[in-house]
Amino acid sequence: MDQVKIGALIRQLRTERHLTQKQVAERIHVSDKAVSKWERGHGCPDISLLTALADVFDIGIEALLSGKLTKQESEKGNMKKLNFYVCPACGNSMTASAGAGITCCGKRLHALEPKMAAPPQQLKVEDFGGEWFISSDHPMTKEDYISFVAYSNDSTLMLFKQYPEWNLQVTLPLQRAGRLYWYSTSCGLLYQDIRPQRCTAT
């Protein structure tokens, strides 16, 4: 194993996913100093951590150990690189790959910048008999509501339209680790990562 290559790959994957060293460390139950050490090429993750670390980055263990992504691995994250758009005039919600030109109501739209949801903002995620049940305490008034919820992993995108004065409730098949996005008219585009082992927000 080339610990310098492995460390460089860990850093690349972490920054691409807009994660801090502390966030990665918390997900695999190590210190952020350990993640920093790996990224600087001064050591390698213990073998007992490889599966969890590969899950965090949604890659295979082989790619992690080799310190480089195969073409197949590098293409896996394309669904996660989708941009989200909301028309300020009509409220229409759209997705597109990076680089696409999106217009609505005669105006060019700009991709929304996703922000990691703080714990009070996060959606509730529960496992109900092999399905994820997603809900929120958001008030859902005409002035302040969530207009869509989306689930994304490396090969899947599911988008659920929401409406003012509805209770936000979404049910989707239990998937492997992925990301929830939602658009709040007051807070913009938010996200949180979810994984089936816990069936809770991370």
pLDDT in tens, 70-102: 655 554 545 556 889 999 889 899 888 766 678
Residue 197's pLDDT is what?
Answer: 53
Is residue 39 one of the residues assigned to a domain?
yes
pTM of the model: 0.60
CA 32/CA 42 separation, integer angstroms = 14
Residues 59, 125: one domain?
A: no
Domain contains 145:
yes
- Percent of the chain whose pLDDT exceeds 70: 88
- The confidence score (pLDDT) of residue 115 equals 93
- Distance from C-alpha of 131 to C-alpha of 126, rounded to nearest angstrom: 8
58 in a domain, yes or no? yes
Burial string for 127-165 (b: 16+ CB within 10 Å, else e) reads eeeeebebebebebeeeebbbbbbbbbbeeeeebebeee
The answer to whether residues 60 and 76 touch, using CB atoms and an 8 Å cutoff, is no
Q: Are 119 and 184 found together in one domain?
A: yes
Assess if residue 161 is contained within a domain: yes
| Residue 197 and residue 117 share a domain | yes
Q: What is the pLDDT of residues 106-115, one digit of tens each?
A: 889 988 999 9
In this structure, is residue 92 part of a structural domain?
A: no
Task: Using alpha carbons, list the distances in angstroms from residue 184 to 17, 96, 108, 139, 151.
Answer: 21, 19, 21, 11, 15
As for how many domains the chain has, the answer is 2
Residue 54 lies in a domain: yes
* Residue 178 scores a pLDDT above 90: no
Say which CATH number the domain at 188 has. 2.60.40.730
Same domain, 118 and 186: yes
Give the model confidence (pLDDT) of 136-168 as tens digits: 988 899 889 999 999 988 778 899 999 998 889
Residue 190 lies in a domain: yes
Domain range for 155 is 113-201
- For 33-43, the pLDDT digits (tens) are 999 999 999 99
* 64/117 same-domain check: no
Kindly state whether residue 133 falls inside one of the protein's structural domains.
yes
